[in-house]
Amino acid sequence: AQSVTQPDIHITVSEGASLELRCNYSYGATPYLFWYVQSPGQGLQLLLKYFSGDTLVQGIKGFEAEFKRSQSSFNLRKPSVHWSDAAEYFCAAILTGGGNKLTFGTGTQLKVEL
Amino acid sequence: GAVVSQHPSWVICKSGTSVKIECRSLDFQATTMFWYRQFPKQSLMLMATSNEGSKATYEQGVEKDKFLINHASLTLSTLTVTSAHPEDSSFYICTSAGSTDTQYFGPGTRLTVL
């Protein structure tokens, strides 16, 4: 079955430290991949997406993600975390040609220590 | 990115009443909209796909007679929770799908059924 896995439920980092949030997918073919961020009580904001081409994708707020086909991964990174980055992060995927149905990972709650 | 609005943002109702949630795509025409629900501290689960001018497609386990979806125009989809019960309390989020397989999220509607 198609699935998206985020192994880390919670992550705590110090402000200024680097960040990597893990995401793995299980699809027969390479899906379209997304990272979203959700602040408490809010909707989701798209950070970045990968459809094809360059496997290193730049997004908003200084985030980037790297698609690695061999590892079926699409990990999100940021070189230096800010306190305002504390939020819930969701990795999601759409199977190409799959009618735009997004499958979400379970989310990673990021806490930033000052 | 595109702008999607939801109304109301927060609603409290009595058990047994019906609640209508509106989702509007403000700056582009969306032939397809999606409805998700999110329980506290959990991921988003797709409820149904709303297609303009046709019946919605519901995901397995979602009661179509309880969650009525109407997509009467290219900019408006409504979700009506009929005979709401406390277990229907959740965060309901709609998205509008553009032509590039990117979904734009509404801010969500918090439903609390007493």
Percent of chain B scoring above 70 in pLDDT: 95
CA gap A36, B99 in Å, rounded:
19
Cα separation, A88 vs B69, whole angstroms = 28
The mean pLDDT of B63-86, rounded to a whole number, is: 93
Mean pLDDT of B62-89: 93
Range from A94-103, B4-13, B16-25 carrying the lowest mean pLDDT: A94-103
* Exposure b/e, A35-58, CB count within 10 A at least 16 = b: bbbbeeebbbbbbbbbbeeeeebe
Quick check: A102 and B93 CB within 8 A? no
Nearest by CB to residue B107, choosing from A43, A49, A100, is: A43
Residue A31 or B113, more confident: B113
For A28, A50, A62, A72, B35, the CA distances from B69, given in Å and listed in that order, are 31, 30, 38, 35, 9
Interface probe, candidates B42, B101, B109, chain A, greatest A C-beta count within 10 A:
B101
Q: CA distances (Å), A105 to each of A2, A3, A88, B1, B18, in order?
A: 11, 8, 11, 22, 31
Interface test with A, best of B105, B110, B111 (most A CBs within 10 A): B105
Of A81, A80, A101, A57, whose CA–CA distance to B60 is shortest? A101
Average the pLDDT over B40-67 and give the result: 90
Residue B41 has pLDDT above 90, yes or no: no
* Structural tokens at position B70: 């109407």
Residues B79, A26 contacting (CB under 8 angstroms):
no
Q: Rounded to a whole number, what is the distance in Å from the CA of B105 to chain A's nearest CA?
A: 6
Residues β-bridged to residue A13: A112
Higher pLDDT: B50 or A81? It is A81
For chain A, the straight-line distance linking the first and the last C-alpha, in angstroms and rounded, comes to: 41
> Comparing C-alpha atoms, which of A17, A13, A31 is closest to residue A73?
A31
pLDDT recorded at residue A23: 97
A-B contacts (CB, under 8 Å)? 53
pLDDT for residue A97: 62
**Contact across the interface for A105 and B43, Cβ inside 8 Å:** yes
Q: Given a cut of 70, is residue B105 above it in pLDDT?
A: yes
CB pair distance less than 8 Å for A49 and B102? yes
- Rounded mean pLDDT of B44-53? 89
- Put simply, the answer to whether B43 touches A106 (Cβ < 8 Å) is yes
Of A34, A43, A94, the CB nearest to B93: A43
Mean of pLDDT values over A15-21: 97
